[in-house]
């Protein structure tokens, strides 16, 4: 059986500690968004839902990093997450973590893989 890989964006769209790219997903049966960011040479993707309160993180579309570029930050309550793991690094998330989405790069493009919880958008 062939593995499903869904395109997110061109690799060049993700700059280190720059804007992220949002993409539509279905999470737990509800329409939602995921996002991909580049930190160092790697791409990471998460469900766009804060562990503190289930709201989207970005304050402007694609703005996920706080000013130092070291952490992902929820725009509403300031929860901070490490880009490499999605684990809470400070603020009201108290040991929580972002829900990871499997992501990879191939031939100059970024793709994500569905799992049991995060699936492609319903038709």
**C-alpha 93, offset from chain centre:** 16
Whether residue 36 is contained in a domain is answered as yes
Whether residue 1 is contained in a domain is answered as no
Stretch 110-121: mean pLDDT, rounded? 95
CB atoms under 10 Å from CB of 115, counted, come to: 11
Q: What is the pTM of this model?
A: 0.94
CA distance 103 to 30: 20
CA distance 75 to 78: 6
Band of pLDDT at residue 1, cut at 50, 70 and 90: very low
Residue 19 has pLDDT above 60, yes or no: yes
- 63 CB burial (10 A radius; 0-12, 13-18, 19+): middle
Whole domain around residue 112: which residue ranges? 6-119
Stretch 32-43: mean pLDDT, rounded? 97
Residue 93 has pLDDT above 90, yes or no: no
Q: What percent of the chain has pLDDT over 70?
A: 98
Provide the CATH number for the domain around residue 69. 2.102.10.10
Mean pLDDT of the chain: 94
Whether residue 49 is contained in a domain is answered as yes
CA distance 101 to 79: 19
Residue 123 has pLDDT above 70, yes or no: no
Query: Are the C-beta atoms of residues 80 and 68 closer than 8 Å to each other?
Result: no
Whether residue 16 is contained in a domain is answered as yes
Greater confidence, 122 or 78? Answer: 78
């Amino acid at each position: 059986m062939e593995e499903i890989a869904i395109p997110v964006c061109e690799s060049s769209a993700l700059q280190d500690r720059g804007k992220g790219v949002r993409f539509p997903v279905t999470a737990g049966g509800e329409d939602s968004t995921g996002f991909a960011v580049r930190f160092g040479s790697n791409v990471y993707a998460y469900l766009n839902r804060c562990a503190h309160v289930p709201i989207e993180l970005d304050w402007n579309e694609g703005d996920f990093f706080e000013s130092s570029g070291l952490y992902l930050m929820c725009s509403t309550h300031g929860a901070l997450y490490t880009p490499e793991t999605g684990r809470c690094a400070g603020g009201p998330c108290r040991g929580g973590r972002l829900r990871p989405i499997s992501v990879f790069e191939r031939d100059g493009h970024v793709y994500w893989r569905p799992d049991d919880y995060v699936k492609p958008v319903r038709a």
